[in-house]
Chains A and B, each alone.
Chain A
């Protein structure tokens, strides 16, 4: 019994230690963002704010300078929202359609096509920068929010296709045949049978895509125009704009603002994420 308790003690202390280790940065960010400039100068990183204030948050949101303009993260935040939501929905929808075709409507060469799409999952992002900017130029959407959206949709399709295809492989083919005999066509089967069965993988893909596109910096900095920069670029500019005094509290608040949407998505849909991943593993 004692032995067991001792093991428990070790286990719990290790877990607590690691939890603390990972939470300390968040703690520092949160407390720093609530401090005023005076307490920052005192320099104690781990101290609690003596006079908590949201000034830094307001400044980060609305008036901090990101280069020459001083409107805070607000315009970048909305740029990201306007770009990320359609890009996530589109890439997920296309991925599920691709997965449906590649698993249930196989045609000559569909396996090869899928193999080629898999390259897209493992291809480093940097490889496509030059050709992609060329293509965006041809399409006339270079340096615009539309161009950036298009890049994210195209870049997301390989992984969303992979997710859905592997999930749909686990759906019995006889379901599709039964629906065909019942008179349903390609789209009807997708809408009435396949999509309603896709909830777990749908949640996984939505979270995956939202996190990836929201957190993307490289495409954002390369393909956006002056008025279509996403929040990651805004955050970078904000932190790199030099002023007389480094405003760490504003930097921290800005970083937290940039991270909030992905945190929100994980908290709301996180349990579906884990469930979806395991369900796929068991059934697939």
Chain B
């Protein structure tokens, strides 16, 4: 059995509002699980349930080989970092870090050792006597992580811990969380709505929407084999190009333009039955070439290392992501090319991946 197993979790409020509609997830010890999705998808509710701060209507939660579904938070051997950090304003940094140990009646010498250990790890030794009110956002974030680390928990929970930081600090702290996890190897559940955080931090990602897990897999699987149209569009920036297409029995076309497909895709479409499809292409799969789908450049967005170019074609608007600087101007006639292996096919009605 894994380090954390979530079995068929349902949550309803007032018997009418269905927040979670049967969640099943399982991860191994030491893995970093990301719960990602738009707001209202139920990811924070699920995290609260793992923490014991909320209770499922049905289903069970296991940590290690224990069923913790009905255990109070304090008996679950978990620690959590909150979005607002939730440091105790009346205590010093050292007292904040040691509070959980103090309540568990850990002897003073051991508490001191734990504070020294985590403060060295997070480089907050010089802040130990300060109150949270005297700290900057990044320092508070570190102290909150220190408080969680001090108890050496079985399971680490993060609730959107970086969303209150500015962009630069966010990238720094993201790297620090990753390093910390590499060092401690503590099983971690991390909630975010940021797909970059999800991709960079996660060993496994659960993409959620409307109280359901849309896809559960490694970052590679999520990115390269999205299970449905929602996952494909949610992960990746700029978002995947989506072209409404029709299967005409032998070829796939959009507005009369034939779209490249592989043998495997054609077989899958034949088996699928419905002719109304969506053809998906990641912006980085598309390149400029001498021949191919003709179009006109309608927008150029340079970012420095790469450039996003939006092209109006007969099949619709397509965004290409090309390295370096694009030597072209808006209005130029261009040709786009891509390989069929890079394309994704989804059913138009249900959004489910076809091939």
Interface-located stretch among A23-31, A62-70, A169-177: A169-177
Q: How many A-B residue pairs have CB under 8 A?
A: 57
In the bound assembly, the distance between CA atoms of A13 and B84 in angstroms comes to 51
Contact at B74–A181, with CB atoms within 8 Å? yes
In the bound assembly, the distance between CA atoms of A5 and B242 in angstroms comes to 73
- Contacts A180-B73, A181-B80 given; indicate if A174 touches B86 (C-beta within 8 A): yes
Contact at B90–A172, with CB atoms within 8 Å? no
Measured between beta carbons, the chain A residues less than 8 angstroms from B104 are 183
Q: A residues within 8 Å of B by Cβ? A: 172, 174-175, 177-185, 188, 192-193, 196-197
- Contacts A178-B80, A181-B78, A181-B80 given; indicate if A197 touches B89 (C-beta within 8 A): yes
Contact at B88–A175, with CB atoms within 8 Å? yes
In the bound assembly, the distance between CA atoms of A215 and B205 in angstroms comes to 66
In the bound assembly, the distance between CA atoms of A73 and B17 in angstroms comes to 66
In the bound assembly, the distance between CA atoms of A177 and B79 in angstroms comes to 11
A-B contact sample (9 more), CB < 8 A, given A177-B53, A181-B79 = A174-B84, A178-B86, A182-B103, A182-B147, A183-B74, A184-B74, A184-B103, A188-B103, A192-B99
Measured between beta carbons, the chain B residues less than 8 angstroms from A184 are 74, 99, 103
**Which of A172, A178, A180, A184: most chain B CB closer than 10 A?**
A178
Q: Is B100 an interface residue (CB 8 A)?
A: yes
Q: Which 9 A/B pairs are nearest by Cβ-Cβ distance?
A: A182-B100, A174-B86, A183-B74, A178-B86, A196-B90, A183-B103, A174-B82, A180-B73, A181-B73
Measured between beta carbons, the chain A residues less than 8 angstroms from B86 are 172, 174-175, 177-178
CB-CB nearest in chain A for B78: A181
Distance (whole angstroms) from the CB of B54 to the closest CB of chain A:
10
Q: B residues within 8 Å of A by Cβ? A: 51-53, 72-74, 78-80, 82-84, 86-90, 99-100, 103-104, 147
CB-CB nearest in chain A for B150: A182
Contact at B103–A193, with CB atoms within 8 Å? no
CB-CB nearest in chain B for A178: B86
Measured between beta carbons, the chain A residues less than 8 angstroms from B82 are 174, 177-178
Measured between beta carbons, the chain A residues less than 8 angstroms from B52 are 180-181
Contact at B83–A179, with CB atoms within 8 Å? no
Contact at B90–A174, with CB atoms within 8 Å? no
- Contacts A182-B99, A184-B103 given; indicate if A172 touches B84 (C-beta within 8 A): yes
- Contacts A184-B103, A188-B103 given; indicate if A179 touches B88 (C-beta within 8 A): yes
In the bound assembly, the distance between CA atoms of A249 and B73 in angstroms comes to 67
In the bound assembly, the distance between CA atoms of A65 and B319 in angstroms comes to 98
Measured between beta carbons, the chain A residues less than 8 angstroms from B51 are 177, 181
In the bound assembly, the distance between CA atoms of A177 and B50 in angstroms comes to 13
CB-CB nearest in chain B for A194: B90
CB-CB nearest in chain B for A188: B103
> 15 pairs across A/B with beta carbons < 8 Å?
A174-B82, A174-B83, A174-B86, A177-B53, A177-B80, A179-B99, A180-B72, A181-B51, A181-B52, A181-B80, A182-B74, A182-B147, A183-B103, A193-B88, A197-B89
